[in-house]
């Protein structure tokens, strides 16, 4: 189905790595620092997928949705500073690579596909994590929050990657685990593979009509034969 594609763009958190344990560790450190009750990991897991700002706001309000007016900017800024500082020092403390990620990336790269990374994680954290798991050399380009003006589900980050690599959207594919990934791909006119094991915030990704749905990372290889 995707054998003729030239570029495969991957999400990071919930797709390549399970970073929720480390994120939960940092979120609860932040919550204690600002005098709030801590949250169980499964709750934090539901808050992940739309970038650090959204994660922090959801944690401070302890709910999936929030109104901007519900948080004072100074309070949010203080909490964000605490979170980013602690998380930056503990990026890989409890983070793990999903099964068969290295193997699958290696097969795809050896099959002459160009691989790229598009994540909503702050870009300053990305190189360290890719190097830690020894997967940095697979990617021709890696962009994150701060690399472009808009984050996923806006298509800008995917469009930027295609432009930088001089590859047309119809020759690209997005692989991700959340609605942000699938919607960004749709808006960029890029085919997508939705992974069901990541951080989908309780959303049935099939309803977003990705091109393909897979339940494991290695399963994507069958579509490149």
Instruction: Summarize pLDDT for 77-134 with one digit per residue, the tens.
Output: 999 999 999 999 999 999 999 999 999 999 999 999 999 999 999 999 999 999 999 9
Nearest CA among 180, 216, 184 for reference residue 197: 216
Give, in order, the Cα–Cα distances in Å from 110 to each of 77, 81, 115, 182: 44, 41, 11, 26
Choose, from 11, 13, 177, 191, the residue flagged as catalytic. 11
φ/ψ of 42, rounded to 5, equals -65, -25
Distance CA 145, CA 80 (A): 15
Active site residue 177: no
CA distance 223 to 212: 9
pLDDT in tens, 120-175: 999 999 999 999 999 999 999 999 999 999 999 999 999 999 999 999 999 999 99
Domain 7-18+96-224 bears CATH identifier 3.10.450.230: no
Same fold, 7-18+96-224 and 20-89: no
Pick the CATH number of 20-89 from 1.10.1060.10, 3.40.50.300, 3.10.20.440, 1.10.150.240: 1.10.150.240
Q: Which residue has the tokens 């047309």?
A: 168
Q: How far apart are CA 66 and CA 130, in angstroms?
A: 31
Q: Provide, for the chain, the percentages of residues in helix, strand and coil under a 3-state DSSP scheme, each rounded to the nearest 5.
A: 50, 15, 35
Domain extents for the chain? 7-18+96-224, 20-89
């Amino acid at each position: 189905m995707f054998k003729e594609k030239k570029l495969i763009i991957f999400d990071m958190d919930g797709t390549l790595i399970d970073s929720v344990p480390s994120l939960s560790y940092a979120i609860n450190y932040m919550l204690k620092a600002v005098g709030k009750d801590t949250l169980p990991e499964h709750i934090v897991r539901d808050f992940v997928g739309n970038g650090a700002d959204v994660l922090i706001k959801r944690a401070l309000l302890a709910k999936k949705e929030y109104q901007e007016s519900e948080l004072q900017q100074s309070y949010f800024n203080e909490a964000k500073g605490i979170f980013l500082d602690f998380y930056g020092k503990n990026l890989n403390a409890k983070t793990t690579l999903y099964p068969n990620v290295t193997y699958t990336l290696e097969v795809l790269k050896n099959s002459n596909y160009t691989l790229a990374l598009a994540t909503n994680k702050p870009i300053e954290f990305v190189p360290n994590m890719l190097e830690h798991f020894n997967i940095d050399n697979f990617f021709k380009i890696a962009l994150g929050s701060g690399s472009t003006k808009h984050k996923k589900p806006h298509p800008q980050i995917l469009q930027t990657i295609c432009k930088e690599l001089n590859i047309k959207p119809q020759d690209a594919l997005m692989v991700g685990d959340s609605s942000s990934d699938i919607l960004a791909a749709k808006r960029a006119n890029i085919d997508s593979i939705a992974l069901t094991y990541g951080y989908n915030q309780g959303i049935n990704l099939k309803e977003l009509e990705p091109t393909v749905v897979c339940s494991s990372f290695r399963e994507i290889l069958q579509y490149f034969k």
